[in-house]
């Protein structure tokens, strides 16, 4: 699977105004996360990281032609070898990303500290705080000047006369340190301006979707959307990216060899009975991510794809269906972040969070200063 997945979405409008920007939301790592949501029949792109329905569960009584229901049943029950023991991490403070639909990028950050084996909430901030070894970061946006064609009809009817552009600013996120330090922009190459009428580009936009993180490694996806003059369909792409905030560099997360085939069979059992082009097709590995489970142990989240017809593809895009396979096995690149302290795990379970980042001495003071104290309401007798 290419890092950038291009798909066509059926749009009736040939040339539309630049789409409105919606507040970013995380792609849920529950029922399967996807790289993009379906585009509406209008020329507007979907809201940032709008959840997409998961593929239908296998129906053993209605197996596709050519597939034995017993085969699907066997695939669904494919055993997975036991995962190796996980490395425990320690610490007396952590920042937890708690899901919050109204927060920028879908998460708020809560600072917790160890209070005799239980978590004490110290403060919070209404946005995701990225934790590095020596610095904390928050997302900010800057304008990236671009151009959209204001004469799309001429681009179709008389291209030499099609010259009138309007300025359109793309909001380009970057990571700003809380305090002194350099800004980071791991996704820089995914954000680029358009050349309007010269490129026959009407509406366009680029948006960052924040998915989560483990340790110093974070998961995002960049959604790029273009409507070309005279085009019956918008063109959009999603570029998945995992990066280490301590280096600012991309990290390639891989599928452990021991589970690649077993999980692939389970994915096939889930996807084949649904709306796919070829039920006998072997699912393709798409992306590896991770999260923390209820016990505080890290889980691998492995995504597989099968090709789907335009009208019923669940994503990424309209031409694929995705299966999420959660496993005790984890991407080997994240092995050093295997298991959280019990007091952190208990807090994650209580609030329904799946992403926590341990703080060291170099960042604890900054966290206490930058995350506002939470006010606890008490009832008077």
Residues pairing with 307 in the sheet: 320
Banded pLDDT at 233 (limits 50, 70, 90): confident
First to last CA, the chain: 63
Reference 340, options 91, 30, 82, 85; nearest CA is 91
pLDDT tens digit string along 332-366? 999 999 999 999 999 999 999 999 999 999 999 99
SS (H, E, C) 302-324: EEEEEECCCCCCCCCCCCEEEEE
| DSSP assignment letter at 166 | E
pTM of this prediction exceeds 0.75: yes
- Portion of the chain with pLDDT greater than 70, in percent: 81
Question: Which of the two residues, 65 and 363, has the higher pLDDT score?
Answer: 363
Question: Which of the two residues, 40 and 186, has the higher pLDDT score?
Answer: 186
Banded pLDDT at 62 (limits 50, 70, 90): low
pLDDT tens digit string along 128-155? 999 999 999 999 999 999 999 998 988 8
Say what the pLDDT of residue 28 is: 35
Say what the pLDDT of residue 45 is: 36
Banded pLDDT at 42 (limits 50, 70, 90): very low
CB hemisphere CA count around 272 (13 angstroms):
25
Give me 237's structure tokens. Answer: 């792409």
């Amino acid at each position: 699977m290419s890092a950038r997945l291009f798909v066509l979405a059926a749009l009736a409008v040939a040339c539309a105004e630049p789409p409105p920007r919606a507040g970013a939301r995380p792609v849920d790592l529950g029922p399967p996360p996807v790289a993009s949501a379906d585009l509406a029949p209008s020329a507007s792109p979907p809201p940032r990281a709008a959840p997409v329905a998961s593929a239908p569960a296998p129906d053993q009584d209605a197996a596709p032609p050519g597939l034995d229901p017993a085969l699907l049943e066997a695939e669904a029950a494919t055993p997975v070898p036991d995962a190796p023991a996980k490395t425990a991490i320690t610490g007396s403070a952590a920042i937890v990303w708690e899901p919050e639909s109204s927060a920028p990028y879908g998460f708020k950050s809560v600072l917790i500290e160890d209070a005799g084996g239980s978590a004490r909430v110290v403060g919070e901030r209404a946005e995701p705080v990225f934790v590095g070894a020596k610095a904390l970061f928050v997302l900010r946006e800057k304008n990236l000047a671009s151009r959209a064609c204001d004469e799309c009809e001429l681009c179709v009817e008389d291209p030499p006369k099609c010259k009138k552009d309007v300025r359109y600013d793309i909001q380009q996120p970057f990571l700003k340190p809380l305090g002194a330090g350099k800004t980071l922009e791991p996704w820089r190459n995914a954000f680029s301006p358009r050349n309007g009428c010269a490129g026959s580009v009407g509406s366009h936009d680029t948006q960052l979707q924040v998915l989560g993180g483990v340790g110093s490694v974070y998961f995002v996806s960049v959604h790029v959307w273009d409507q070309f003059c005279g085009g019956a369909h918008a063109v959009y792409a999603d570029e998945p990216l995992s990066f280490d905030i301590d280096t600012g560099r991309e990290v390639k997360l891989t599928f452990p060899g021991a589970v690649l085939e077993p999980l692939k069979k389970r994915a096939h059992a889930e996807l084949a009975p649904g709306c796919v082009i070829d039920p006998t097709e072997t699912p393709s590995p798409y992306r590896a991510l991770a999260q923390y489970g209820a016990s505080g142990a890290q889980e691998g989240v492995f995504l597989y794809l099968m090709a789907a017809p335009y009208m019923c593809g669940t994503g990424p895009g309209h031409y694929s269906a995705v299966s999420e396979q959660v496993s005790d096995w984890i991407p080997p690149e994240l092995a050093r972040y295997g298991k959280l302290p019990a007091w952190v795990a208990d807090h994650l379970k209580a609030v329904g969070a799946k992403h926590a980042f341990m703080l060291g001495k170099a960042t604890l003071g900054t966290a206490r200063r930058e995350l506002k104290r939470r006010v606890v309401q008490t009832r008077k007798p």
